[in-house]
Structure 1
Amino acid sequence: MRLLMLGGTEFAGRAITEDALARGWDVTVFHRGRHEPPEGARSVLGDRTEDGGLQALAHGEWDAVVDTWSAAPSAVRDAARLLSGRCERHVYISSRSVYRFPTPPGLDESAPVVDGSPDDGDVEYAEAKRGGELAAAGAFGDRALLVRAGLIIGPYENIGRLPWWLTRMARGGRVLAPGPRDLGLQFIDVRDLAAWTLDAVGQGLGGPYNLVSPPGHTTMDGLLEACIRVTGADAEPVWSAPEDLLAAGIAPWTELPLWLPPGEAHDTLHRADVTKALSTGLRCRPAEETVADTWAWLQRIGGKAPLRPDRPVVGLSPEREAAFLRSQAAADDRRSPVQWTRRPSVR
């Protein structure tokens, strides 16, 4: 297979490129030169945000193109139109964020989506991804595969969510753990996303697919305990109720990565229906494997994940964590029943 990767040097794009190379595919990576593509890929330089930035792709034919673009949909549109007559299939790595919020639990690909346009410039993330979908479908029709990925973690993660938890557990000590402990998590290992995507290209699939693990793939407790095991740390999770965390102003998802309290946001992000993807071959490795391999990758690169400059830094500061744990300990002391000692009666 001849594969053209638009991107292909970071996180999801890199995982797809590496998987394709491992299959013996002929891979061309179109990128801006900020990071080296995996060894074995053909490198083509260009910046799609500049006038004439796609000139390097004016010639050539491929069996499939994969586009991971997350910004202005017009960039997806321009590339898709340029390649539509010289590429058999188009894969757009989209997001489950295209669904209107809130998304009740159990909804599939037929759920209502946000408005978007392939002609949009800089718009919010959900609208950008929806516009990218429309751009791909507009140029390729039913030859466009829309991969609506959920939460993506694993090696090469450049957002920092799972790396933050691993680094925090490695420091040891008392760790703020957001409850409830049995809160289900739904995510996709980036390598499982890559494997399904390339298999789907081979099958000639088109249209939208929710791509994330089944609900309850692991729990907050399972994830954090896996982080403790793989780091070998002496960390002690201190489980805290969602209402206490919210009352303290601690932000879900950003200050406590991956975590959302029970409710609409959690239902939207962690309770999607993935029957369609499972029926076409999606396989999700155990969460413990994802955690262990991400930690091993972090150790290979010096312990610090490379972060995208266009995304906010995630994670709770040590000062905020310590302050909350102190306040919680004081509150627990106040709630504890007072133990009275009665002197013997002398009568």
Structure 2
Amino acid sequence: MTSRRTALVVGGTGPTGPLVVNGLIERGYDVTILHTGRHQTDLIGSEVRRIYTDPFDGEATAAALGDESFDLVVAMYGRLRMLAPLLAGRCDHFVSIGGVGVYRGFGSPDDLFPFGMPVPLAYGAPLVGDGEEFRKLRMIRVTEEAVFECHPSAIHLRYPQLYGPRQPLPREWPLVRRALDRRPHLVVADGGLTVKSQGWIGNAAHATLLACDAPAAALGGIYNVADSSALSIAQIAEVVADELGHSWELVSLPYEMAAPARPLVGSWSTTHRVLDIGPTVRDLGYRDVLAPIDAWRAATRWLVENPLERGGALEQRLGDPFDYDAEDRLIAAWNDARHGLETALGSIDWTREPNYGSAYVGNRPNPGVAEKRQSLNAADSPEASRPLSQQARTLGSAAQRASGPRRS
């Protein structure tokens, strides 16, 4: 009789852990989880063996493991720089989880020219250097290097900010709480247009299981993990409100004045952080198991059923005081200032009012342009009167294959 494959999951009880553990069981593995024991979950059955130790302590972890070896190791928690050498030569396949902050400009968009990360950020964009101001970000890069020094054929995944059930610090809670409180307004910064790659816990777990399958094309590679598409802050706010049967007016302020929006942006800048997951799709075969709009709805429902304690320690860590009186005064002051500015702007005598240009197509008037010119599809437009054969244009380009996930 063929023996079953064995897997060690370091961690395994966080947001994605139970999904990975149960996915490995479905794949035929006998699974052992190694963790502190502080976070237990009934999502993992009794057939899963537990090893209790501190995965941040090398000596304690070495003693707990003894001389055991495994077919697969999934390092989801602990000090990865310590775990990688400890498990060298003791597994056939090593999968590790890190973070996306390894890219230069992630913490300091003013390090880049032009300012901010391009959208999307190319997979092969420069990583943080030794001069990176934030040690935490430097160590993400150092940790990736340590993994492949010990496990050349490993697969390393860069997790983004996750959302969904069991997330210990749900950054969408400020939206959910305000919708539950039926706030009529929501202050957003710069239109709420900031976009950053995030990951539904089920999608991130799915990517991890694909890495556990060890496809040949992915061995020795590093992969960005994120939902296939990203919603802006304003779009997430719209989904959350709709899921809770609420609607609100988004009050857009310049970021310098939009203090209530800071916890949602999570940075001193509203620039974007959108990752390239093309290699993840190509080599791992990744696809979302839940589309982002549906995922944000599910995350909202979870928080309604499992709310943070109002005023509690976790809520305070979000940096949001939920000071609705102050927010109302800010909105009132903004409306007064905007009214005064609109009055001043009305006195400006344009020689010709700026508009959206001749190519504009939209359901709102193009300032200063006659009604019949509103759409390029107007029946009397010169283009519409030409035969379709003359209108057709074939646009082709030789798209180069995206750079692969190999480490340079």
Relative distance call for 1:20 and 1:231 in structure 2 (3 A) is: farther
1:46 pairs, out of 46, 53, 75, with: 53
For residues 299 and 19 of structure 1, the distance between their equivalents in structure 2, rounded to whole angstroms, comes to 27
Relative distance call for 1:250 and 1:80 in structure 2 (3 A) is: same
- Equivalent residue number for residue 342 of structure 1: none
- Displacement of 1:324: 2.3
Structure showing greater Rg:
2
Q: Say yes or no: does 1:321 pair with 2:327.
A: yes
Relative distance call for 1:249 and 1:293 in structure 2 (3 A) is: closer
Contact preservation (8 Å) 1:163, 1:294: no
- Equivalent residue number for residue 213 of structure 1: 227
Relative distance call for 1:45 and 1:325 in structure 2 (3 A) is: same
Q: Say yes or no: does 1:281 pair with 2:285.
A: yes
The secondary structure found in structure 1 opposite 2:191 is coil
> When the two structures are aligned, how many residues end up with a matched partner?
314
For residues 261 and 94 of structure 2, the distance between their equivalents in structure 1, rounded to whole angstroms, comes to 37
- Displacement of 1:316: 5.1
2:249 pairs, out of 233, 237, 247, with: 237
- Equivalent residue number for residue 109 of structure 1: 123
Residues 56-205 of structure 1 aligned to structure 2 (within 5 Å): 56-69=64-77, 75-101=79-105, 102=109, 103-115=117-129, 124-141=135-152, 143-178=153-188, 179-180=190-191, 183-204=194-215, 205=218
1:35 pairs, out of 19, 36, 39, with: 39
- Displacement of 1:132: 2.1
Counterpart residue identity of residue 56, structure 1? A
Cα deviation, 1:171-222, whole Å, max 9, x if unaligned, reads: 11223242425554432212111111111221333311111234x5323332
Q: Say yes or no: does 1:26 pair with 2:30.
A: yes
Cα deviation, 1:102-134, whole Å, max 9, x if unaligned, reads: 443334332221246xxxxxx732123222212
Structure 2 unaligned runs (5+)? 110-116, 345-408
For residues 94 and 87 of structure 1, the distance between their equivalents in structure 2, rounded to whole angstroms, comes to 19
Contact preservation (8 Å) 1:188, 1:211: yes
- Displacement of 1:305: 7.6
TM-score, normalising length: structure 1: 0.79
For residues 80 and 277 of structure 1, the distance between their equivalents in structure 2, rounded to whole angstroms, comes to 22
Contact preservation (8 Å) 1:33, 1:45: yes
Q: Which moved more, 1:275-284 or 1:123-132?
A: 123-132
- Displacement of 1:10: 1.4
- Equivalent residue number for residue 372 of structure 2: none
TM-score, normalising length: structure 2: 0.68
Relative distance call for 1:210 and 1:308 in structure 2 (3 A) is: farther
Residues 307-346 of structure 1 aligned to structure 2 (within 5 Å): 312-315=317-320, 317-319=322-324, 320-337=326-343
- Displacement of 1:313: 2.5
